Amino acid sequence: MTEISQDGRSWPHREDCRIRTGPIAEVLDEELLGSIPTSQLLLRDSGVDAAALDPLRSILARRAALIERVVPGGAACKSPESWQQILQIFAEVGLDRGGLVVVAGGGSVGDACAFAASVWHRGVPWIAIPTTLLAMVDAHIGGKTAIHLGGIKNRIGSFHLPRAVVSDRAMLESLPLSERAMGWAELIKAAWIGDPQLLESLEQSSDSIPVDLIPRSEHLAQAVAVKVAIVDQDPFEKGPRERLNFGHTLGHALEMLSSPTMPHGEAVARGMVFAARLAEQIGEASDGTAVRLATLLQRASLPTDCSGIGLESLLETLQGDKKTRAGQLRWVIPRRPGEMVVRPVAIEVVERVLRFPPLEAIVNPLT
Domains and CATH numbers, the chain: 2-172 (3.40.50.1970), 177-354 (1.20.1090.10)
**pLDDT exceeding 70 applies to what percent of the chain?**
92
Catalytic hit among 9, 13, 122, 355: 122
Amino acid at 126: W
CA distance 255 to 304: 14
CA distance 46 to 43: 9
Q: Sign of the CA dihedral 273, 277, 282, 287?
A: positive
Catalytic hit among 153, 160, 179, 186: 186
Query: 202 Cβ partners below 8 Å, 6+ apart?
Result: 188, 191, 208, 209, 219, 296
Catalytic hit among 160, 243, 252, 270: 252
Query: 118 Cβ partners below 8 Å, 6+ apart?
Result: 145, 158, 159, 160
pLDDT digits (tens, 9 = 90+) for 156-184: 999 999 999 999 999 999 999 999 999 99
Q: Sign of the CA dihedral 21, 27, 33, 38?
A: positive
Give catalytic status of residue 237 as yes or no: yes
Pairing of strands 100-105, 126-130: parallel
Mean pLDDT in residue range 19-44: 94
Catalytic hit among 148, 160, 189, 264: 264
Pairing of strands 144-149, 152-159: antiparallel
What is the CA 229 to chain-centroid distance, rounded? 15
Give catalytic status of residue 169 as yes or no: no
Catalytic hit among 78, 227, 292, 299: 227
Assign 8 a pLDDT band (cuts: 50, 70, 90).
very low
Give catalytic status of residue 316 as yes or no: no
Catalytic hit among 18, 163, 189, 248: 248
Catalytic hit among 18, 20, 140, 144: 144
The tally of CA atoms less than 13 A away on the side-chain side of residue 103 is 36
Catalytic hit among 237, 322, 330, 335: 237
Query: 327 Cβ partners below 8 Å, 6+ apart?
Result: none
Give catalytic status of residue 189 as yes or no: no
Residue 245 has a pLDDT of 94
- Contacts of 357-364 with CB under 8 Å at 24 or more apart are 358/304, 358/305, 358/306, 358/307, 359/273, 359/290, 359/291, 359/294, 359/304, 359/305, 361/298, 362/291, 362/294, 362/295, 362/298, 363/295, 363/298, 363/299, 364/298, 364/301
pLDDT digits (tens, 9 = 90+) for 280-328: 999 999 999 999 999 999 999 999 998 778 899 999 888 876 566 656 7
CA distance 91 to 101: 13
CA distance 189 to 179: 17
Catalytic hit among 44, 219, 241, 270: 241
Torsion angles phi and psi, residue 41, rounded to 5? -120, 120
Give catalytic status of residue 186 as yes or no: yes
pLDDT beyond 70 at 9: no
Query: 245 Cβ partners below 8 Å, 6+ apart?
Result: 323, 332
Is 85 exposed, middle or buried (CB count within 10 Å of its CB: 0-12, 13-18, 19+)? Answer: middle
Give catalytic status of residue 364 as yes or no: no
Assign 152 a pLDDT band (cuts: 50, 70, 90).
confident
pLDDT digits (tens, 9 = 90+) for 195-252: 999 999 999 988 999 999 999 999 999 999 999 999 989 988 888 899 999 999 999 9
The mean of the pLDDT values for the chain is 90
Give catalytic status of residue 144 as yes or no: yes
